[in-house]
Structure 1
Amino acid sequence: MNGATYEVFAVRYGHMDRRASENFLGGCACDGPMPIDYYVWVVRSADRTVVVDTGFGPAEGVRRGRSVLNSVGTGLAALGVEPAHVDDVVLTHLHYDHAGNLGLFPRARFHVQERELQFVVGRHMADPTTASAYCVEEIVDAVHLVHAGRVRFSAEDEELFPGLSVHLVGGHTGGTQVVRVRTARGPLLLASDALHFYANHEKRHVFAVTHDPDGLLEVYDRRFPELVDDPDDVVPGHDPLVLTRYPAARTGLEGYVALLSDGRTTTP
């Protein structure tokens, strides 16, 4: 078996001030500040670089009241990654903050669940609340990529490359997938929006935007333990605590780019 291991990085590109009551489905009795950060991820081995999700651009950020701290392209450049040279991008789902900027990657193939693409062009988009988390123009871009032969539909559980696999979990959207990565210290799970905050898992209280809440709780109880032994190795998709619990990728990138694959620097 190929023993490839990867470095894994979280790149923070955006931010929004929110309150806890906005972040939990049905609200939260203990309200207070609970900001949300926006990330893309880089998974890199000696011979392969994979980008996980593509974020949103400045115009979409302005439209939705989100702050772009650094463009996705600038964040990737901090790691020496040139988007035009990236061959593979995993899209965990197609919400506006995970599937924008597709044009930054002119030669990439995009790995997505077929169920997610069916979800975003099907009957669920007749619900304005569900549809509001998607950007129509980005969905059209994704459909164009399908017709251009640049979308590869992932299997429900599939090793895309040695040591890097995707797993359909749903819950957050109809076709959300998570990414399991082999690192030198063991497997790491990039949960993306299957887990917005550590607190969602700890409190068993899902994020406010969730297609199937009961299904997502099942993911917490069954799927996550199947994929990693230690719940601390599940990395949430929007928690500012990621940047304090993991070290900076290098000096000067504190609060911006975290190295996830060497382990935490602090405990929960």
Structure 2
Amino acid sequence: MSDDVYEIFALKYAHSDRRSPENFIGGDEHDVPMPLAYYSWVIRNERRTYVVDTGFDERSAAKRKRDLLRPLGEGLKTIGVDPDTVTDVIITHMHYDHAGNDDLFPRARFHLQDCEMDYATGRCMCHPTLSHPYDVDNVTTMVRRVYAGRVSFHDGVSELAPGITLHKVGGHARGLQVVRVKTERGQVVLASDAAHFYAHLDRRKVFPTVDSVADVYQGYDTVLSLATSRDHVIPGHDPAVLELYPEASSALKGWVARLG
């Protein structure tokens, strides 16, 4: 494999039952089951390994009434990734389900957008509706990492490594970033919550947790322009990902999928 070509894995660590009207601003006339799957992702080749988002732990699962299926650290080890040795973690945004497990990556440097940290520690967090998706313990842990010299800030578009770029899109969260990855099948975009489900992209509807509806719509266009095709976009919470992509091994069916 070339130095700038990677394989990608999606690790499902949690689940939440929902119905479709809960997943769209304005509801959904069909009113059918539409559960959320919670993922973390791994990007790697022979030279580099990046973890994308750090999920949440048992405490957060109980607090938010989510079903924690398997601890993220366990999932990582099944594909040969030891959290203690991970050197780089990309945080797409700092909502509780993407920036938790505070002690899981003790040696890692964390990559996030400037404006996401500004937002999560600024005046907007005085309003419960805006602060609800964040966990104060996760945020204060990130602040401590800043003071320990373990955070790299990005502003807009950054090349993290050959074949991996970060792109700020905002919308769902003030500093939401997506990750473009060169793979053997083309340019794959880990959209995270720029699109929770394929249905958000295809139907041009918006998930109710949102900072800017206008930026969500622009984000859809950005994500599609970065990917080789619509089928190269990986949404952040769609259970269909594990149905569309092959499992990493027969023992990991319904848990870890190979995306690259």
TM-score class normalised by the smaller sequence:
over 0.9
Matched, 1:96 2:72: no
For 1:257 and 1:200, locate their aligned partners in 2 and report how far apart those are by CA, in whole Å.
23
Question: Equivalent residue of 2:251, what SS?
Answer: coil
- Who is 1:260 aligned against? 259
Q: Which runs of 5 or more residues in structure 2 are unaligned?
A: none
- Who is 1:266 aligned against? none
Deviation of 1:155 (Å) = 3.2
Q: How many residues align?
A: 259
Question: 1:218-259: CA deviations, max 9, x gaps?
Answer: 1113x1233113111110000000000101011111100000
Q: Which amino acid aligns with 1:102?
A: D
TM-score, structure 1 as length reference? 0.95
Contact residue 247 and residue 257 of structure 2 kept, 8 A:
yes
- Who is 1:209 aligned against? 209
Question: 1:66-103: CA deviations, max 9, x gaps?
Answer: 01100000010111100000000000000000000131
Question: 1:112-152: CA deviations, max 9, x gaps?
Answer: 00100001111221221121100011100000000110000
Calculate the aligned-residue CA RMSD, in Å: 1.0
Matched, 1:235 2:234: yes
Matched, 1:66 2:66: yes
- Who is 2:245 aligned against? 246
- Who is 2:47 aligned against? 47
For 1:76 and 1:42, locate their aligned partners in 2 and report how far apart those are by CA, in whole Å.
8
For 1:216 and 1:4, locate their aligned partners in 2 and report how far apart those are by CA, in whole Å.
29
Q: Which runs of 5 or more residues in structure 1 are unaligned?
A: 262-268
Q: Which amino acid aligns with 1:143?
A: V
Question: 1:180-230: CA deviations, max 9, x gaps?
Answer: 000011110000011100001111001111111121111113x12331131
Q: Which amino acid aligns with 2:53?
A: D
- Who is 1:138 aligned against? 138
TM-score, structure 2 as length reference? 0.97
Deviation of 1:154 (Å) = 1.6
Identity of aligned residues (%): 49
- Who is 1:34 aligned against? 34
Deviation of 1:29 (Å) = 1.6
For 2:148 and 2:226, locate their aligned partners in 1 and report how far apart those are by CA, in whole Å.
33
For 1:30 and 1:229, locate their aligned partners in 2 and report how far apart those are by CA, in whole Å.
31
Question: Equivalent residue of 1:202, what SS?
Answer: helix
Deviating above 4 A after TM superposition, structure 1's stretches of 4 or more consecutive aligned residues are none
Q: Which amino acid aligns with 2:31?
A: D
Matched, 1:174 2:174: yes
